[in-house]
Amino acid sequence: MNYQEVLAQARKTLGPLCKACPECNGRACRNTMPGPGAKGIGDVAIRNYDQWKAIRVNMDTLVEGGPVDPSVELFGHHFAYPFFAGPVGAVSLHYGEAYNDQSYNEIVVRACAKNGILAFTGDGVDPHVMEAATEAIMKQTGCGIPTIKPWNQETVQSKFELVMQASPVAIAMDIDAAGLPFLKNMTPPAGSKSTAELKAIIDQCPVPFIVKGIMTLKGAKKAYEAGASAIVVSNHGGRVLDQCPSTAEVLEKIAQAYKGKMTILVDGGIRSGVDVFKALALGADGVLIARPFVTALYGGEDAGVQTYIQKIADELVDTMQMCGAHRISEITREMIWTD
């Protein structure tokens, strides 16, 4: 199955809100929520995509030849590539009823683990979602990262107990989910956390804790002070706050201040191995890609996800080769061009 075939099949399987565009750039779905779009006027997802494209890569083939190794060590584990599947929740609402959160997570976690990378799973108001995600991660001997919503401390504690049955590599929290329309006025409550509240949560977490949804130096500082092992520089694909900057625009400053102190991940509009390379050159240790994994899975289940992973991996290896990096640790700032 090649990627064009995956997309063609996805167009038959997806509901009406995602068009499985040749390039997932936020334009066709724009402000479609429910659906895969973004909040408000819907230009944050577009800006995420466009700003990666505004960065260019510097070719340098006057280097020693030799094989390229795109593997990476993160959270004490070895992964085939520095990109992972980002969490996506409520898939049947946003992408159509061919899959639900249970079946989606089961397949994405399995297919990613088989191909040497991690999948993050999402959370929802239905407690069965996290139970099924835990089972899916357990079947892959902990190769997966559950992402818990910012519920109150008591609920988070019970979710920790549940997901720890799978011994996951790490646990994440999408701290920016405070901005999701469907989480407003929920029982149990979910929303913003003070640094002290976040610290109390992290102190209870038995594995590395990842704070997803950091867009400023101030936010990174608070996550660091609360004891986070990692952050995801993310604006939730534009779904939580209209008119944010793109992640490509804020990543470098955050990485300069916190690289080596916390693992720095980034997501939002990363659509090729070339984009992955650019994110690493700006200081990220790894990246998440979310929407295209959904399209790949709707278009071919395990085979669709495998095809997509291979496509991004091939592009990354090619870019490393052409820019003179044999290993991920050799990707440096001068290998990219910014205006």
Ligand X SMILES: Cc1cc2nc3c(=O)[nH]c(=O)nc-3n(C[C@H](O)[C@H](O)[C@H](O)COP(=O)(O)O)c2cc1C
Of 51, 105, 234, 306, the one binding ligand X by CB under 6 A: 234
Closer residue to ligand X (CB): 82 or 268:
268
Number of residues that bind ligand X (CB under 6 A): 23
Nearer to ligand X, 51 or 140 (CB): 51
- The helix/strand/coil state of 211 is strand
Q: Which of 70, 82, 87, 283 binds ligand X (CB under 6 A)?
A: 87
Which of 80-88, 159-167, 275-283, 298-306 is the region at the interface with ligand X (rule: CB under 6 A)?
80-88
Helix, strand or coil for residue 194? coil
CB 86 within 8 A of CB 288: yes
Interface of this chain with ligand X, residues 283 to 312, rule: CB under 6 A: 289-291
Q: Is 94 in the site for ligand X (CB under 6 A)?
A: yes
Question: Which of 70, 150, 179, 237: binder of ligand X (CB under 6 A)?
Answer: 237
**Residue pointed to by tokens 């950091």:** 214
CB 280 within 8 A of CB 296: no
What the block records as the tokens of 319 is 């870019």
Pairs from 155-160 (Cβ < 8 Å, separation ≥ 24): 155/188, 156/201, 156/204, 157/204, 159/123, 159/130, 160/204, 160/205, 160/206
Pairing of strands 145-148, 120-121: parallel
Instruction: Provide the minimum distance between the beta carbon of 339 and ligand X in the complex, in angstroms, as a whole number.
Output: 22
Residue 268 DSSP SS3: coil
Task: CB nearer to ligand X: give 105 or 140.
Answer: 105
SS3 assignment, position 90: coil
User: For residues 308 and 146, what is the distance between their CA atoms, to the nearest angstrom?
Assistant: 22
Identity of the residue, 159 or 291, whose beta carbon is nearer to ligand X in the bound complex: 291
Q: Do 34 and 17 form a contact (C-beta atoms < 8 A)?
A: yes
Binding mask 191-230 for ligand X (x = CB under 6 A): ---------------------x------------------
Site map (CB under 6 A) of ligand X, residues 27-66, x = contact: ---------x-----------x------------------
**Is residue 89 a contact residue for ligand X (CB under 6 A)?**
yes
Distance separating alpha carbons of residues 41 and 239, to the nearest angstrom: 11
Q: What kind and span of H or E run contains 254? A: helix 247-258
Q: For 295, what's the count of Cα atoms within 13 Å in the CB-facing half-sphere?
A: 26
Near ligand X by CB under 6 A, which window of 159-167, 263-271, 302-310, 321-329? 263-271
* Residues within the interface to ligand X (CB under 6 A): 36, 48, 86-89, 94, 122-123, 147, 174, 212, 234, 236-237, 239, 267-270, 289-291
